[in-house]
Structure formats: structure tokens, C-alpha cells
Structure 1
Amino acid sequence: MTTMSEQTTDQRPLPERVAADLRDEILSGIVLPGAVLLTAELRKRFVTSSATVERALHILCEERLVTRCADTADEAPNAVVLEHRQRTMQPARSLAPADPGQPFRWVTEARRRGVRATCVLLEVKPVPKPPAHIVQALGLNAGNPVLLRSQILTFDNEPAGLVKAYFPLQIVQGTEMMEHRKIRGGTSTLLAQLGYPPRRCVDSVSARIPTQEQHALLKLPRNVPVLRTFRVVHSDNDRPVEAHDTVEAGHLYELQYEFSQIL
């Protein structure tokens, strides 16, 4: 296990560094749910004070990774590790249109993994001048408008992701996609019905520091990064028909991609 002496170049405040090491061990499964983090042992391990350990554990409490328990034999309360809430999702499973009468595949996949997942629609609006990266991703000409549909994804009633989905306005104009309501089965199902079934998607994934908007909408604890996935969906003839700009709460979300060897 890492000690503070091995982190001489880390300029973060000491409580954040201690919390970072413990967080990684909890999320990685090195420290299992139910384990007790003893303040006295943490003081020795990190060669630091009870006050520093106390602040580190407080950070993890805010993220609901641990809960506190009093110990009269120690100067400060210890902590019990909770079952971490980071859920593993497989993006490829949500690409295909939903079966008739079924909900959005993302919701179905989450429920299959024992998570109560919902989508909360925020806004639906035409964007006359879309951002440059959307214009490029959708292969549009300057001045071509798009439709923006944004929503919050929740895990067990807790905000887990913010999605901004863009569509060329010319292919969705006049459809129910323009209405401020959820699309049964998701937008990929409607696009397939319109003659634009998803055939290929390209995901670009990166870690980011959350913006003020993302921090507020996702109700993030402090110092928690977001996972940003930019997905472009292509239909027949490799035509781009959808671009998703998604940020997921780093303490709640894990992406899993499966690959087979290509010969």
C-alpha cells in the first residue's frame, strides 16, 4: 500500500491524498465492504495526524463510500466501508433499438444489473448554430441546424450522467423527436423507424474536471471527476445521424468495452 513518503511530488492537500488512496482501494475491491478503517492504523500508515485522517474520512463519507462509527479507545471515530456504488455499464448493449414496447435499452441494461435507472428529460430545442465539434461529427455544413435533446440519467434516484444528444434537424423535423417528452424505446428506436438504423458507433472517452453546470446537475461531491464520452452514431452508408456528448459521475459510473480478436 502507498504511503505519503512515496508521494513527494503530489501537491494536493494531505487529506485529499489520503482520501484518494483509500478511495482507489475501495473502488478497486482491495478493501471490501464491511471492512473497518481504523484511525490509529491510518495514522501510522500515512504518517500523519488524527485530524488529517478525520478530514480524509469525511471526504469519503460525502461520497458515501464509508460511514463513521465511534470508538472510545481512539481519539477519532473509525469508518466502515460501504458497498461502493460505482456501476459497470456496457455501452455497446444500449446501441441497438429497443424491442417493440420495451424501454430504452440503457434502462433495460441497468435494471439487468440490479440498478433502478431512469432518464429525466431536461430540454428539447433546435440549435441554429451548433458547436463546432457537433458540426464536424455530424458532417454538416456551416449553418445547418440540429436538434438538441438533453437529459439526466439516474441510478437509484441519484444523478449519474448528463447527456446532450444532437441530431441533424432535417431528418427529425416534424417527428415526435421535436416534442418535449420521452421517446418510447429511446431515440435510436425512432431513428430506425425513420429509416436511419444504427450500424456503427465511435466512442471517444476521456476524464475531465466537471464544469459548474455538470457539478450542479449531477450533484457531485467535491473533487470527483467526470467521465466524458463523445459518441457518434452512423447509419447506412456510414451517414452520421446522432452525436452524444455525455458526462458520467466518476464515483458512480464505470464503462466496460468487450473486444474480440480480429484476424
Structure 2
Amino acid sequence: MGTRLDSRPRHQQIAAELRAEIMSGDLKSGEQLPSTPHLVARFNAANATIQRALQSLKDEGFVRGHAGKGVFVRDRQPLVVNTSTYMSPDPRGYSYELLKVGQVAPPSDVAAAFTVSGEDLVVMRHRLLLHDGAPVELSWSYYPVSIAAGSPLAGRGRIRGGAPQVLADLGFPQHHFIDRISVRQPTETEVQELDLPPDVPVFRQFRVVYSDSERPVEVSVLIKGGHLYELSYHQTAD
């Protein structure tokens, strides 16, 4: 089997190398990056190519330039998503904007998860999650009309206690969920609404929440910028 060549533009290759060093801690928070002449020599690249690579890292929030001093690694920790929990609003900087609520025909994968026809309507809540005022996640949460109609899930108001509390009050407590995680390039809408830098992929979480008798009561699609997040998994030994 042949070796696949990296066909990306040179500035993307260089940015990838530096990004990996920052994420591994080899380039530490607050540390100054090597000078442009040093990077030119190291990567055997033109000055303009190095500048484009550094600009990509600035756009993604990995580094910051200081006039007359150089480029430094930003003191920024990734937003860690523990896949066993929901991202809940809290006073430390998380908030939601409710973008749309209504009854819609579900996407095919959502319909399959609910085992309903694609022609059947479901209640959808579409939201934007912000951290310190910056957009970090788009979400679409879907509920069977038979459960959600007439409940706070179908309204435009803020839900006290969140969807899990409403579902429990309706007699559908959440027992467990299954996440499928994938990575892809963003759509044009996702680039705009999440204010994504160029060439940044997104995480796609597809979550099915189950209640009594393994009944699916919620399906969510969550889109997160890949430059902001790490996914955390926990497993207990038998």
C-alpha cells in the first residue's frame, strides 16, 4: 500500500505542526514562538508562507502577536466536553440563544432514531451556545410530538431545569444516552453562525436519549468548532 502524500497548501502543513506542538505542551502557554527567520529555516518556507501559517493560528486562538515582541502561545484552555454530560449554562460564562422552536419534519437519521416516518412531525429546539459571549456550539434537539406538544419543550421560553427536568415531569425520565461522534467540514451556515476560522473542521455529536423501556425521547445534533474543544471519555474498570 502506497503512502498518501500531504497535498495541503504549505502554510496549512506548517500551522498543523505548530498547532500539534502547542496542544502537546511542547510549546507552553505564554511561551514565545521561534522567530520568523528561525521558522523559515526550519520549514524551508518563504516568509509569506510562515506569516500565513501564523495567521491561521491567530485566527484559531492558539497564538497572539505582540507588536515589537513576537508571537506568543495564548493562555487558553480547550473547552472540555465530557461526553457523559450535557453542556449546561452556568454563571462562569455559558449562555444560550434560542434560535427556533417549532414542529418540523425530522432529518432522516433523527426519524430513524425515533423509528418514525420522515413525514411525521417532531418538536425541534434549535439553540446557539455561547461562552463569554462567543459562539461555541449549535444544537438541534428533537422530541416526539406525542410527548412535547403543549409542554415547555414546545415553547419559546427558558426551561427551568432544562429538558431533562421537563421530560421527567412528563413521566419520561432519562436513563441513558448513546453518542455518535464524527468530524467533518462545516456547512456555510455553521461557518457563519459559529464564526469559524478558515479550514477548521467541526465535531458532530449525534445523541439519542432513552427513557423507560428503552424508548427514545430526545435526539440531539450538536456542532462544535474543532479548534475549541476536546472530548473527554471516562471508563471504569470491571
Normalised by the length of structure 1, the TM-score is: 0.84
Q: CA deviation at 1:85?
A: 4.3
Aligned residues: CA RMSD: 1.8
**Whole-angstrom distance in 2 between the partners of 1:64 and 1:164:** 26
The residue matched to 2:13 in structure 1 has which SS?
helix
Q: Is the 8 A contact 1:85 1:251 kept in 2?
A: no
Most deviating of 46-55 and 164-173:
46-55
Q: CA deviation at 1:70?
A: 4.3
Structure 2 unaligned spans of 5+: none
Match for residue 21 of structure 1 among 17, 25, 33: 17
Q: Is the 8 A contact 1:147 1:178 kept in 2?
A: yes
2:5 maps to 9
Q: Is the 8 A contact 2:107 2:118 kept in 1?
A: no
Q: CA deviation at 1:153?
A: 0.9
Q: Is the 8 A contact 1:160 1:248 kept in 2?
A: yes
**Whole-angstrom distance in 2 between the partners of 1:67 and 1:41:** 18
* 1:24/1:84 CA distance change after superposition, 3 Å: farther
Q: Is the 8 A contact 2:83 2:179 kept in 1?
A: no
Give the residue type in structure 2 aligned to 1:63: E
Q: Deviations over 1:34-83 (max 9, x none)?
A: 11112122112211122211111111111222112345xxxxx7311112
Q: Is the 8 A contact 2:206 2:220 kept in 1?
A: yes
The 5 A counterparts of 1:196-207 are: 196-207=172-183
Q: CA deviation at 1:8?
A: 8.5
Q: CA deviation at 1:91?
A: 2.9
Structure 1 unaligned spans of 5+: 1-6, 72-76, 95-104
**Whole-angstrom distance in 2 between the partners of 1:65 and 1:93:** 26
2:196 maps to 220
Q: How many aligned residue pairs are there?
A: 235
Give the residue type in structure 1 aligned to 2:102: K
Give the residue type in structure 1 aligned to 2:82: Q
2:89 maps to 107
Q: How many percent of aligned residue pairs carry the same amino acid?
A: 35
The residue matched to 2:99 in structure 1 has which SS?
strand
**Whole-angstrom distance in 1 between the partners of 2:237 and 2:120:** 39
Give the residue type in structure 1 aligned to 2:79: R
The 5 A counterparts of 1:114-263 are: 115-127=92-104, 129-262=105-238
Do structure 1's residue 41 and structure 2's residue 18 form an aligned pair? no
Q: Is the 8 A contact 1:207 1:228 kept in 2?
A: yes
* 1:14/1:78 CA distance change after superposition, 3 Å: farther
Normalised by the length of structure 2, the TM-score is: 0.92
Give the residue type in structure 1 aligned to 2:29: P
Q: Which runs of 4+ in 1 moved over 2 A?
A: 27-30, 141-144
Q: Deviations over 1:73-111 (max 9, x none)?
A: xxxx731111234211213233xxxxxxxxxx6224xx6
Give the residue type in structure 2 aligned to 1:146: V
Q: Deviations over 1:212-261 (max 9, x none)?
A: 11111101011111011000000010000000011111111222121112
**Whole-angstrom distance in 2 between the partners of 1:25 and 1:138:** 43
Give the residue type in structure 1 aligned to 2:56: I
Match for residue 66 of structure 1 among 56, 59, 63: 63
* 1:135/1:55 CA distance change after superposition, 3 Å: same
